[in-house]
Amino acid sequence: MTRRRFDPFRPFRLARALVVHSFSEYAAYRMEMVFWVVGGTLPLFMMFLWIELAGQRATGSFSAADFAAYFLLVFLVRHMTPFVPVPELERAIRHGELSAQLLRPLDPYWPMTAAQLMDIAHRLPITIPVVIVGMIWSGAWQIIAFEDWPLFLLALLGAILLHYNLLYCAGLAAFWMERVRGFEGLMWNGYFVLGGGLAPIALFPDVVQQIVVWSPFRYMMSFPIEIAIGRVAPADTWFGFALLTFWLAFSIGLMRLLWHRGLRRYAAYGS
Amino acid sequence: MIETTGLSKRYTVYRKEAGFVGSLRAFFHREHYDVEAVSDLTIRIGAGEIVGFLGPNGAGKTTTLKMLSGLLHPSSGSVRVAGHTPKERDREFLRSIALVMGQKMQLHWDIPATDSFLVLKTIYDIPDADYRARLDELVAMLDLGDLVNRPIRRLSLGERMKCELAAALLHRPRILFLDEPTIGLDVTAQAAIRNFIIDYNRRYGATVLITSHYMADVTALARRVLVIDLGRLVFDGDLQALIERHSPDKILRVQFAEEVAPDRLARFGTLRQIEGLVAEIAVPRAIVARQAADILASLPVADIAIEEPAVEDVIRTVFRTTGAVGKPA
């Protein structure tokens, strides 16, 4: 039997092909992108609410400009929130559409990841100008710790990947439960509330803060934003990255376990 | 090339009574039971063979194909395909097979087939020159023309199936599993697909295992058939022998121009059914042409066709007459 030679450029060729393919799919539905962006404006409403509250009385250590910077970045991170894995995997597993992907010598994780990246890339031309205009209008740009932006981008990448992987795990539960949208709702609540979507974690009661700091939710949203607005001390930054790395490793391990166990149960119905 | 020994697959399914009370009861207590989809299947298929896989609905044909292609893990028994264990889904195995399911589209709905082909080119590491040559060849063999540049959703069922075949064969697999590849297609498209499969088998010596409910597919493609029922192999041998032994009749399907009393049809053969102006008459093979001419001459006929009986009918006859018709090889 012939074994193929290791080709170090294959992953790059695959990535390019998958991203181009995903672009073709997304380009087929231009208006959908606009609706997604408009539908994700909750953080902007939260921003106005908290600015109003901060204008009337002190709210922890957050000023109106702090709230503006924080929630504009929540808006940005929110639009980098993965949404593909749970409904896609549920449908693929329940209806047997996974079969077509299983027949190919490529883990279905990668095409779905490419689709997710393309979805995020599609939203950026709208979300980034909104964030920039919002920062200038509110004066929030003065809050931003520009010197920490490399760390912000690293933490943001980790946050997207962690969130994506955990949603992928929730989607893989369809091998056992077939309908897993409930998981998605549960994770969304954890992500948005405990991740700092409704209010900065710094404003939570101390006990809750101590719990949240160890949970994965902080690293899916709040952690990169805290870095961007200069609210993480250097020592805490490395602690945060260590926990982010731990949760990423956990998510990858859980994903592989669920995948291999799930394939044994896969019934390929309807295909 | 394909070997199975004692291959079995059991599913656990749950039963629920209809209605509100049934749903409520199932919510608190689910009654599970096992279904044996494939049982103790032992087959050997050599390289380059085209084998028809027949059986009534629910017999276990598709489940077997899914186990052979690595989609399903067997409950027991062993299976080897091209020297690989399918459930391990190793890369070389996946490069050597293709499974085409007529009732399930694998290409992306919203974009042209060529976009999907380009991804497959990368996934299967097909060099540029080979890709162009293979695509040109497939486009010519399947008479695809410019169809590959249109979004899949804009294509007819037959056109989509041709694109599916092109996508499945781009990496030039040595083993083809075809599950109802012509289902729902018109006769022209069915013939085109059949010719293509024969051509592909001849050019590349590919092994083909095909299931179909159309007798014409199986007769045109396969000399050897495997018949399976209730998950068990009941016949493995020559197709023509099976047909002639168990289906001595052909079917005359007649559409009349005006209503004809059933008793006027009895003399032409066994009246299987009559609905409105359309009648189906079973006629012995030896006299079918003469009887068709008699009907045309003596009754007000608008249209007439001579058809092979449906595979399911042949198989039903097989089971009615002998229970099990042949010894597995």
What are the pLDDT digits (tens) for B7-60? 999 887 777 777 777 777 777 777 777 888 898 999 999 999 999 988 877 888
Tell me, yes or no, if B66 comes closer than 8 A to chain A by beta carbon. yes
Instruction: Give the sign of the dihedral formed by CA A96, CA A97, CA A100, CA A106.
Output: negative
Whether ipTM > 0.95 holds is no
**Beta-carbon separation of A21 and B89 below 8 A:** no
% chain B with pLDDT above 90: 29
pLDDT at B306 over 80: yes
Residues in chain A, how many? Answer: 271
Ranked by mean pLDDT, the top range of A109-118, B23-32, B59-68, B97-106 is B59-68
Tell me, yes or no, if B106 comes closer than 8 A to chain A by beta carbon. yes
pLDDT, mean of residues B209-218: 82
State the Cα–Cα distance between residues A182 and A174, nearest whole angstrom.
11
Instruction: Give the sign of the dihedral formed by CA A96, CA A102, CA A108, CA A112.
Output: negative
Give chain B's mean pLDDT: 85
**Beta-carbon separation of A268 and B111 below 8 A:** no
% chain A with pLDDT above 70: 82
Contact call for residues B17 and B26 (beta carbons, < 8 A): yes
Top pLDDT among B198 and B16 is at B198
Contact call for residues B233 and B226 (beta carbons, < 8 A): yes
Contact call for residues B217 and B258 (beta carbons, < 8 A): no
pLDDT, residue B326, reads: 45
Q: What digits encode the pLDDT tens for the residues A182-230?
A: 777 888 888 888 998 888 898 888 899 899 999 999 999 999 999 999 8
pLDDT, residue A55, reads: 66
**Beta-carbon separation of A268 and B120 below 8 A:** no
pLDDT, residue A58, reads: 55
pLDDT, residue A215, reads: 93
pLDDT, residue B328, reads: 39
State the Cα–Cα distance between residues B177 and B156, nearest whole angstrom.
23
Top pLDDT among A157 and A66 is at A157
**Least CB–CB distance from A18: residue in B119, B124, B125:** B119
**Least CB–CB distance from B89: residue in A1, A102, A271:** A102
pLDDT, residue A152, reads: 93
What are the backbone dihedrals phi and psi of residue B192, each rounded to the nearest 5 degrees, phi first? -60, -40
pLDDT, residue B34, reads: 80
Task: For residue B159, give the nearest of B176, B178, B145 by alpha carbon.
Answer: B145
Q: Where are the beta strands (DSSP E) in B106-191?
A: 175-179
pLDDT, mean of residues A135-147: 85
Query: What's the burial of A117, exposed, middle or buried (CB within 10 Å: 0-12/13-18/19+)?
Result: buried
CA distance B319 to chain A (A): 27
Top pLDDT among B230 and B185 is at B230
pLDDT, mean of residues A236-258: 95
The enclosing H or E element of B279 equals: strand B278-284
Contact call for residues A13 and A109 (beta carbons, < 8 A): no
State the Cα–Cα distance between residues A67 and A47, nearest whole angstrom.
6
